[in-house]
Structure 1
Amino acid sequence: MSQQHTKQPAQDAPQPIAVNINALTPAETEEAVEKAGVNKTRMGKRKTFVSAMFAGAFIGFGALFFLIVTCDPAMTWGPKRFVGGLAFCMGLVLVLCCGAELFTGNSLMVSDLAARKISWTALAKNWVIVWFGNLVGALVLVTLIALAGTMGLNDGAVGATAVATAAGKINLSWGVIFVRGILCNILVCLAVRVGFSARSVGDKVLGILLPIAGFVAMGFEHCVANMFFLPIGMVSRLAGYGADVAGAAAVDLPGILYNLSAATLGNIIGGAVFVAWAYWFVNARKD
């Protein structure tokens, strides 16, 4: 008689790991956003400030990339805006993938406030530290770019484009800048939520491209981007670039503060109310 032996699996054999490649659901994304917001309030002041400096510089690099690719006069208006928007995306890609504190993205912390996970004081402290950290990071980059002579590229076309871009942002009514700031941060915070929902770096990068390229192409106002665009425009004007740009005289310190005041308040409303609070209400609020 033949004996049949049934081979038993080894008890200590490693079990396959289940990998979920699907993006997080909106409810799961909301949970991830709120968890990140709580962690932001627990970070030390100095670390928060330095991380915010990184974000200001990263967004500045994206803004510089925008100036480089849009300084070609041979490009027509539509393609120039789209290509420039895609170039600008580099800034948010660096922020989300490398890790940094971005003021506009931190509007999503209002979800934690609505859920009573953080206090008004913690929220305000984070926003103030991050806003000024973003500004310092952007200004450090402006200084380095000016010393590097980058504005002189393409026979000075980059510097002239910087002046024209800054003049176009400053020579708007305060109300228009404010509304464009609202619209801008709706798209930015939606892009950040896409980043939270992604399972991989590739998903994260692809997911944020269109919302960010879109807000740039549409001419909306992002206060952190303007922390680079406006000072580099002023430095370029003082260096003699863009002398024939209409409205260039307005590119000065009062003009910069005028734009940033409206863009900042608009960004807060757009991100905090139309995205953070609204998505908390839909996905996390207990009826």
Structure 2
Amino acid sequence: MSYVKPAQLVTRMVDAGESKIFMSTRDTLIRSIMGGAILALAAAFAVTVSVQTGQPLLGAVLFPVGFVLLYLLGFDLLTGVFTLAPLAWVDKRPGVTIGGVLRNWGLVFLGNFGGAFLVAILMAIYFTYGFSTEPSPVGQAIGDIGHGRTIGYADHGAAGMLTLFIRGVLCNWMVSTGVVAAMMSDSVAGKVIGMWLPIMLFFYMGFEHSIVNMFLFPSGLLLGADFTLWDYLLWNEIPTVIGNLVGGITFVAATMYATHGRTAPARIPTVRVRRPKAADAPAVAPVAPELVSQP
């Protein structure tokens, strides 16, 4: 299994960020739509497993299958470009501007939302037999998630908003670690292992992922859950996006680039010269009287 050392890894991260900024609008949208759709399907799968088996850990263990597939297929998520795109600007790659970074973020956001919302509609039809019956147990669970992670935060006021933001930060710390870990290996097995572990962690811990939420909450609204569109935007999606941005840049992009891309000069060892003490001075041999010259 090949391994890419951190210094080379940072170069790959910068190259990836640069390629995403200069990607055509068409390709950016297609790849982000598919990325959002596949991740949404993985979220539906994980919730289904958790509900039907009663084992949330099993759902978390299996959820990364969607993340792995979408990245192996070269699709994009907003959480990933939050981390990679700014590095090309920080590294002063020719032609890379802040405007280019923001353009990439905006297109990927729109594409991810479009893909996730499409799956939300399809799954709502699936859970209700075309809206002809009450939601299945899995559909009800998705609605409960939407209520708990909007109204549940709102009930705690500022403390709830802070918790929501921190969960967004922690989420993209792990998700972006998975994105970067995929670049640490040139083998499929190595990439899969590198991605699987941090993604499993974030999902089981209940951290807030903006693209997963683009599926869960619109799906909950379509299924008649007890929260509003405004609740979703104010008490989840907007703070989650901001938290994801801060987490990816701060704990992955900035730290990796600072220590492996712009490594500080190594410390020069200081050699301390030990001065001899008076007690350590060599004794002076006495001079024989016969050797003393006479006047």
Q: TM-score, normalised by structure 1?
A: 0.82
User: Which amino acid in 2 is paired with 1:215?
Assistant: F
Q: Shift of the alpha carbon at 1:193?
A: 0.8
**Any idea what SS the aligned residue of 1:71 has?**
helix
Any residues of structure 2 matched to 1:61-76 within 5 Å, and which?
A: 61-72=41-52, 75=54
User: Please, which of 169, 189, 193 is the counterpart of residue 202 of structure 1?
Assistant: 189
User: Please, which of 86, 92, 111 is the counterpart of residue 110 of structure 1?
Assistant: 86
Unaligned regions of 5+ residues in structure 2, if any?
A: 154-159, 265-295
User: Please, which of 105, 108, 111 is the counterpart of residue 130 of structure 1?
Assistant: 108
**Any idea what SS the aligned residue of 1:225 has?**
helix
The corresponding residue for 2:126 is: 148
Q: TM-score, normalised by structure 2?
A: 0.80
Residue 164 of structure 1 pairs with residue 173 of structure 2: no
Residue 85 of structure 1 pairs with residue 68 of structure 2: no
| Mapped contact 1:102–1:134 kept (Cα < 8 A) | yes
- How far apart in 2 are the matches of 1:219 and 1:61? 17
User: Please, which of 34, 38, 53 is the counterpart of residue 18 of structure 2?
Assistant: 38
**Any idea what SS the aligned residue of 1:199 has?**
coil
Residue 264 of structure 1 pairs with residue 251 of structure 2: no
Q: Shift of the alpha carbon at 1:282?
A: 0.7
**Any idea what SS the aligned residue of 2:149 has?**
helix
User: Please, which of 56, 79, 85 is the counterpart of residue 36 of structure 2?
Assistant: 56
The corresponding residue for 2:74 is: 99
1:19-56 deviations in Å (ceiling 9; x for gaps) = xx321011111111111111111111121111110111
1:78-102 deviations in Å (ceiling 9; x for gaps) = xx33211122212211221111121
| Mapped contact 1:115–1:285 kept (Cα < 8 A) | no
- How far apart in 2 are the matches of 1:219 and 1:186? 13
Unaligned regions of 5+ residues in structure 1, if any?
A: 1-20, 238-247
**Any idea what SS the aligned residue of 2:78 has?**
coil
The corresponding residue for 2:290 is: none
Any residues of structure 2 matched to 1:16-27 within 5 Å, and which?
A: 21-27=1-7
| Mapped contact 1:185–1:222 kept (Cα < 8 A) | yes
| Mapped contact 1:23–1:198 kept (Cα < 8 A) | yes
User: Once the two structures are aligned, what percentage of the paired residues are identical?
Assistant: 30
- How far apart in 2 are the matches of 1:42 and 1:110? 13
| Mapped contact 2:64–2:199 kept (Cα < 8 A) | yes
- How far apart in 2 are the matches of 1:210 and 1:278? 20
- How far apart in 2 are the matches of 1:205 and 1:82? 19
1:141-176 deviations in Å (ceiling 9; x for gaps) = 1122223347899x8211111111112221212221
1:205-232 deviations in Å (ceiling 9; x for gaps) = 1221121111111110000000001111
**Any idea what SS the aligned residue of 1:33 has?**
helix
